[in-house]
Amino acid sequence: MAKLLSLSTAMLKNTFSLVDQGRKRKTNRWISIGFTLILVVALLPTVASFFMLTSDGIELLLPLNQEGVILGLLLNAVPLLIFFFALFLVPAIYYFSKDIETLLALPLRPYEILGSKLFVSLIYEYLTISFFFVPVIAAYMYIMQPAVGFYLFSILLFLTLPLVPLIFASVIMMVIMWLVPFAKNRDFFNMISGFLALGVGLWVNMQVGGLESITEGQLVAFLVEGNNSLLQTFKFIFPNIPFALNALLQGSVVDALIYLAITSAIVLGFLSLGQLLYFRGIIGINETASSRKILSEANLSKSTRSSKAIVSYTIKELKLLFKTPIYLLNCVSINFLLPILFLPLFTMSSGAEEMQDILAMIDFNSPTTITVAIGLGIAVGLTMGSINMISATAISREGQFFYFMKMIPMSYRDQLNAKAASGIILSLSGILFTIIFAGSYLKLPFYLILILLFFAIMATLFINYISLLVDVLHPKLVWESEQAAVKQNMNFLFTMIPSMGLSFLIGYVVINYPSSPFLFGTISLVVLVVATLTLVQSLPRIAEHRFKSIH
């Protein structure tokens, strides 16, 4: 136990003390403080909107005596969110982090390493859930003025809530990684392990999750009954959650104790299982088989074909994105996963019918439709260009080999354009996939698909260069695992939040101030082109200035 504690403390210090390169310099410190301030300011509206939304919800449900539904929703959604985040987090922290080989050589038991890894993941999950959990609970406390026990149990719940979903995700991952040594192509299996875990996770969720199917009559009966009876319609995946909900709503100490007992039992069970499985999956995880196959004359000629440096550099960026499991999962797959996640919206039977009804009412030739298509195209381009984080982490991903950029006889202009190109190519694949799929499913006219595509492409060029600018100004070059370079990199928030905000703003303008498609299209196009060209021109100079202060 003592070893587990000291290992967890050391790991935590190491993870969170990995500050940005060159931060010691005064100017860089100011950049970091500025970025943190912008981040806080940017996130405040999100937190405030959760608070307001919860307050409105409680006030709506209070007359029906169903205010507990809010807590039910919170305790249903947050663990699920943790579970899905964990499916991305666990492979990187448990299996692919750089400290693994050092830890394996130490006289430590599997559960001690596993426990410390669980602890580090837990801290990351606190950061994630605080944005949702704190404002909702705070709004509930503000309106309901509950007893002291509620406050105490809320703190306890915040600290323990991520444990069970995190462990569920860890077990799925542990089983998959245990199978890796049996896989014929280990490298490939390592690479796709994240997808497998995601698939298993989705399947588990579909099998056991969701609301109970109830009739309308039952629903009305529940509503009339009051006393938070609607909660009976909820079904929870994680076994400890119903007790947590009772403890919160009824101030039941017994339920709180049962919740803690189940949580503790799951933690202990997990550590015991880890004692059996963890090392079987982890030993040799970073080993890559070598074929020792001599290149044939033909293959050597093919492999040594010359290309322009900028093309070769772009291909290098793409190869690294595809060949690094963490980047493949977080940066590449998202371009294709996002459209697939929206698939049920179109294909669900009732959704499809409603969609057809709505589509039947739309006049595809009206100017308003074209204006909306332009706005929608821009929104898709901005979203798909920022969500994959490729350009927003293009410099950060270099890590300790950042010096390579400074050492080679290739201008920053060419290197940055190559980096932007890799982001743009993958964003475009996602855009094509989304728009062509949605366009053909919804049977949109061809010219409308072209308009959507054209403006999406222009917007994605812009957002990729903006993202690159953010990473040039604030790269995260010191990291222990590739996961940290992308997922624990705040840079993507600086592009995600503004691009989402901009998308909403465009939507607001299009709906409230309908203008001719020509006027709206021309203004949008001029703004996007001028902004992108300005960025392309000024980025190399900014990089040259900024990179000088990075040692």
Partner 1 sequence: MIEISAVTKIYNGKVKAVNQLSLSIEDGKIVGFIGPNGAGKTTTLKMMTGILDCDEGYIRLNGHDIGTNPLLAKKQFGFVPDNPDVFLRLKGIEYLNLMADIYEVDSLERKSRITELAEAFSMTAALNDKILSYSHGMRQKIVVMGVLIHQPSIWILDEPLTGLDPQSSYVLKEMMRKHAQSGKTVFFSTHVLEVAEKLCDQVAIINRGEILYFGTLEELKGRYNQMSLEEIFLEVTRHG
Binding region for partner 1 (CB under 8 A):
24-26, 187, 286-295, 299-301, 303-309, 311-313, 316, 319-320, 323-324, 400-401, 403-404, 406-411, 548, 551
Mutual orientation of helices 253-282 and 148-160 as an angle, nearest 10°?
Answer: 10
CA 383, 388, 393, 395 torsion: positive or negative? negative
Instruction: Tell me the two tokens of residue 389.
Output: 């984080």
Under 8 Å between Cβ of 354 and 363: no
CB of 33 to partner 1, least distance (A): 17
Closest by CA to 401, choosing from 459, 323, 317, 463, is 317
Tokens of 48: 């405030």
Residue type, 8: S
Query: In the complex, what is the shortest distance from the CB of residue 335 to partner 1, in angstroms, rounded to a whole number?
Result: 19
Residue whose token pair is 């990089």:
543
* Least distance to partner 1, CB of residue 476, Å: 19
Q: Specify the amino acid at residue 65.
A: N
CB of 414 to partner 1, least distance (A): 10
Give the integer Cα–Cα distance in Å for 250 and 262. 19
Specify whether the CB–CB gap between 237 and 258 falls below 8 A.
no
Token pair 């982490």: residue? 393
Q: Which is nearer to partner 1, 145 or 303 (CB)?
A: 303
Rounded CA gap, 441 and 356, in Å? 10
CA distance 435 to 448: 10
Q: Is 344 exposed, middle or buried (0-12, 13-18, 19+ CB in 10 A)?
A: exposed
Q: How far is the CB of 326 from partner 1 (least distance, A)?
A: 11
**Judged by CB, which is closer to partner 1: 29, or 109?**
29
Cβ atoms of 456 and 378 within 8 Å: the answer is yes
Nearer to partner 1, 451 or 478 (CB): 478
User: In the complex with partner 1, which residue's Cβ is closer, 319 or 541?
Assistant: 319
Cβ nearer to partner 1, comparing 166 with 326 = 326
Q: At closest approach, how far in Å is the CB of 17 from partner 1?
A: 17
Beta carbon nearer to partner 1, 215 or 303: 303
Residue closer to partner 1 (CB basis): 212 or 297 = 297
- Compute the distance between CA of residue 284 and CA of residue 104 in angstroms, rounded to an integer: 10
Q: Which is nearer to partner 1, 13 or 308 (CB)?
A: 308
Q: What is the nearest approach in angstroms of partner 1 to the Cβ of residue 430? A: 22
Q: Between 286 and 534, whose beta carbon lies closer to partner 1?
A: 286
Shorter beta-carbon distance to partner 1: residue 95 or 124? 95
Residue 401 C-beta: closest distance to partner 1, Å = 6
Smallest distance, partner 1 to C-beta of residue 278, A: 22
The pair of structure tokens assigned to 483 is: 């996961």
In the complex, the smallest distance separating the C-beta of residue 303 from partner 1, rounded to whole angstroms, is 5
- The residues, any chain, with a CB within 8 Å of residue 399's CB and separated by 6 or more, are 477, 478, 479, 485
* Contacts of residue 104, Cβ cutoff 8 Å, sequence gap at least 6: 113, 279, 282, 283
The residue among 97 and 170 lying less far from partner 1, judged by its C-beta, is 97
Q: Using the 8-state DSSP alphabet, how is residue 481 labeled?
A: S
Q: Scanning the structure block, which residue is given the tokens 């426990």?
A: 115
The helix-helix angle for 367-387 and 491-512 (nearest 10°) equals 170
Q: Closer to partner 1 by CB, 299 or 537: give it.
A: 299
Tell me how far, at minimum, the Cβ of 301 lies from partner 1, in Å. Answer: 6
User: Using an 8 Å Cβ cutoff, are 343 and 412 in contact?
Assistant: no
How far apart, in Å, are the Cα atoms of 7 and each of 1, 79, 109? 10, 26, 12
Least distance (Å) between residue 24 CB and partner 1: 5
Q: How far is the CB of 193 from partner 1 (least distance, A)?
A: 16
Give the separation between CA 166 and CA 90, rounded to whole angstroms: 8
CB of 314 to partner 1, least distance (A): 11
What is the rounded distance in angstroms from the CA atom of residue 156 to the CA atom of residue 135?
16
Other beta carbons less than 10 A from residue 299's beta carbon: 11
With respect to partner 1, which residue has the nearer C-beta, 271 or 394?
A: 394
- Which is nearer to partner 1, 283 or 300 (by Cβ)? 300
- Beta carbons of 433 and 337 less than 8 angstroms apart: no
Which helix (DSSP H) or strand (DSSP E) does residue 77 occupy?
Answer: helix 68-90
Degrees (nearest 5) of the Cα angle 382, 195, 274? 130
Q: Strand ranges (DSSP E) for 273-343?
A: none
